């Protein structure tokens, strides 16, 4: 539960940390914490945090939070321990520790959360939900900005079915994040939006054995490609074409590395027209069934002031919305090993 609050707090802060700027972007983070419980000792709790937030495009922007939800799975042993003292429900409060860094600024924060009253089964795992709110936070500095979760402390009260206290009363549990996990809830480079490049180059679709020329732009870490056409042959002799439309899908983040950068792009891929023998074989809604992540990395000779080479590799998930030939077209296109080979020119 405390975990839920901790993550929830972190999430809320993340939202507060990134100021309103672009579109709302979802976060879904799963972590595990170890927490001490009376009578039964240390227990591992699984936590899932979901939220949506807006990221500012420049220093001085503010972050807002929406659709924040945290689910904590309490293991069977904990449920049995609580049931042993007659607990029919549990509720409480928590304080989550998170650290916000924005360029040279490092700000430790303690976020208050509320654990909703939750029924406790006699055995088996159960799930609790936590919530909280944090005012918007202004980000004053350009540079890398991260929100990192740490430990949290919860004050929990199990109660009997008639609402009276159990023999445990209220107890405090100080939880720690289990090692080997990524504690970063949000990371992006603030101020990157001031960089604007024209894009030329190509993308190669491995499964089709085809390369399509690309044009477009890259602003900050957000690429926007024009519609492109890949020409291919099925079975080595059946001519076909596939129009490819890559567009940003959610938050585009990245980091500046010396005089280059890595853009952690998330792209939606639509195939508005696919033909075989010159005849259309896909509905207009044909598209990749999931967002496509790709790291676009600058290469040798790149300079932030002028541009240069950028490349990346990506996988295409199964297609959807293509009509009667969806499964067949998906088999032609999906798979890993696809590439971007681009040249950026500062504008």
8-state DSSP, 299:
-
CB-based contacts of 162, cutoff 8 Å, min separation 6: none
pLDDT tens per residue, the chain (347 residues)?
333 333 333 333 333 333 333 445 677 889 999 999 888 899 999 888 777 767 676 667 776 667 767 788 889 999 999 999 999 999 998 887 888 888 778 888 777 788 899 999 999 999 898 887 767 788 777 777 888 888 888 899 999 999 999 999 999 999 999 999 998 887 777 765 457 899 999 999 999 999 999 999 998 888 999 999 999 999 888 999 999 999 999 878 777 777 788 898 999 999 999 999 899 999 999 999 999 999 999 999 999 889 999 999 999 999 999 999 999 999 999 999 999 999 999 98
> Which three-class secondary structure state does DSSP give residue 345?
strand
Give the HSE-up count for residue 94: Cα atoms under 13 Å, Cβ half-sphere.
33
Whole-angstrom distance, CA of residue 248 vs CA of residue 199: 15
Identify the residue whose tokens are 């009363």. 169
Q: How many residues does the chain have?
A: 347
Q: What is the CA radius of gyration of the chain?
A: 25
Partnered with residue 117 across adjacent β-strands are none
Q: What is the largest CA-CA distance in the chain?
A: 79
What is the pTM (predicted TM-score) of this model?
Answer: 0.53
Output the DSSP codes for 243-260. EEEEEE-S--EEEEETTE
């Amino acid at each position: 539960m405390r975990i839920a609050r901790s993550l929830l707090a972190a999430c809320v802060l993340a939202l507060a940390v990134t100021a309103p700027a672009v579109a709302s972007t979802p976060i879904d983070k799963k972590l595990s914490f170890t927490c001490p419980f009376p009578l039964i000792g240390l227990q591992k709790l699984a936590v899932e945090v979901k939220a949506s937030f807006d990221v500012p495009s420049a220093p001085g922007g503010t972050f807002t939070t929406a659709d924040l939800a945290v689910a904590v799975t309490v293991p069977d042993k904990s449920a049995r321990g609580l049931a042993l003292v007659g607990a029919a429900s549990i509720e409480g409060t928590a304080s989550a520790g998170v650290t916000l860094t924005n360029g040279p600024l490092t700000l430790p924060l303690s976020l208050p959360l509320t654990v909703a009253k939750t029924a406790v089964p006699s055995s088996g795992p159960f799930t609790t939900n936590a919530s909280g709110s944090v005012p918007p936070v202004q980000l004053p500095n350009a540079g890398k900005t991260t929100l990192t979760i740490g430990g949290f402390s919860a004050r929990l009260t199990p109660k009997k079915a008639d609402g009276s206290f159990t023999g445990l009363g209220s107890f405090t549990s100080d939880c720690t994040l289990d090692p080997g996990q990524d504690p970063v809830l949000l990371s992006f480079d603030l101020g990157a939006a001031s960089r604007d490049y024209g894009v030329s180059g190509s993308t190669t679709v491995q499964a089709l054995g085809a390369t399509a020329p690309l044009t477009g732009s890259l602003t900050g870490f957000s690429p926007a490609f024009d519609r492109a056409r890949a020409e291919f042959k099925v079975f080595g002799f059946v001519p076909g074409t596939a129009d490819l439309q890559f567009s940003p899908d959610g938050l585009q983040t990245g980091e500046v590395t010396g005089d280059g950068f890595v853009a952690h792009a998330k792209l939606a891929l639509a195939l508005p027209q696919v033909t075989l023998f010159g005849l259309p074989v896909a509905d207009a809604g044909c598209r990749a069934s999931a967002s496509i992540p790709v790291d676009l990395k600058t290469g040798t000779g790149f300079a932030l002031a002028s541009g240069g080479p950028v490349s990346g590799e990506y996988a295409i998930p199964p297609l959807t919305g293509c009509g009667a030939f969806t499964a067949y077209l998906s088999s032609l296109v999906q798979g890993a090993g696809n590439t971007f080979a681009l040249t950026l020119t500062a504008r």
